[in-house]
Amino acid sequence: MGDTRIDNTIRRLRFEHGEMTQQALAEHAGVTRQTINAIELGKYSPSLEVAFRIAAAFGTPLEQVFQYRKGGMKK
Amino acid sequence: MSFREKMAWISFVLLLLLTVAFAISHHFHPHDAQGHDVIDPAHMFFGILLAFVLLQVVLRVIIAIQAPKDARTPKDERERFIELRAARIGFYTLVVAELVAMALFHLHGRAFFLMSSVLLAIFVAWLVKLGTEIVLYRRGA
């Protein structure tokens, strides 16, 4: 799997939502805390359904949470 | 460490012990003065297998008691993905190991040898599957 081409702003959004914990976000998204951590670090690309659930947890559009990088892979 | 990773570690370590115990009991089982087996190798193997199953159940129950919420949570998509990737690698390992077992049987021609090598091939393939799961969990994939 390795690093993905998808950037995300989950860490910043969690901070802006009252320091929401990874566990709390995981419960909103219906995944484990380790999966949220892997997504946040760019090591795992979530399915569309989980991506929408994460965006819904923050009450923001999907594209504000995830951005596709057209260039090369993240170093 | 996640609940599923702990489970994978338990299964991996116990299966490794089972494989080693199987190999040792296969090669160093005690004989009487006439050269007959003191303990039937099949009985010895099923004894080891039973111990493996019991230990696995006890350790899993202990881990589940320590983290009941995690134990109740179904696997998420990433965990299923890791399991599928590991199963694919384990499957190819099994195919290669069984072909090796058949080739060895062709050379030695003993039915007991075939049974042992087929079992060993299954153990090795399962170890590879569990090992792959652990590596993927460790990498955060």
For B22, B40, B44, B48, B115, the CA distances from B28, given in Å and listed in that order, are 10, 12, 12, 14, 17
Instruction: Give CA torsion, residues A51, A56, A58, A63, to 10 deg.
Output: 50
For residue B49, give the nearest of B126, B105, B111, B102 by alpha carbon: B126
Complex ipTM: 0.80
What is the chain B residue with the closest CA to A29? B76
- The full 3-state SS of B103-130, as one line of letters, equals HHHHHHCCHHHHHHHHHHHHHHHHHHHH
> Both tokens of residue A62?
């999907």
**Min Cα separation B48/chain A (Å):** 35
Share of residues in chain A with pLDDT > 70 (%): 88
Q: Please, are residues B18 and B52 in contact by the beta-carbon 8 Å criterion? A: yes
CATH code where residue A39 lies? 1.10.260.40
CB contacts under 8 A, A 2-41 vs B, are: 2, 30-35, 37-38, 41
Mutate to test the interface with A, among B2, B76, B89 (most CBs of A within 10 A): B76
Q: What is the pLDDT along chain B (141 residues), one digit of tens a residue?
A: 888 899 999 999 999 998 888 877 776 666 666 666 666 767 777 887 888 889 989 998 998 898 888 788 888 999 999 999 999 999 999 999 999 988 888 887 777 778 888 888 999 999 999 999 999 999 876
Number of domains in chain B: 1
A24 is a domain residue: yes
What is the chain B residue with the closest CA to A41? B140
Angle at B19 between CA B25 and CA B63, to 5 degrees: 125
Q: Is the dihedral angle over the CA atoms B11, B14, B18, B20 positive or is it negative?
A: positive
**pTM for this structure?**
0.80
Model confidence over A27-58: pLDDT tens digits? 999 999 999 999 999 899 999 999 999 999 99
Q: How many CB atoms lie within 10 A of CB A38?
A: 22
For chain B, say whether A50 makes contact (Cβ under 8 Å).
Answer: yes
A25 is a domain residue: yes
Q: Which domain holds residue A22?
A: 6-61
Q: Which domain holds residue B71?
A: 3-138
For residue B136, give the nearest of B87, B70, B102 by alpha carbon: B87
* Rounded-to-integer distance, Cα A38 and Cα B82, Å: 12
Q: How confident is the model at residue A8 (pLDDT cuts 50, 70, 90)?
A: very high
> Both tokens of residue B131?
């090992």
pLDDT, chain A, mean: 88
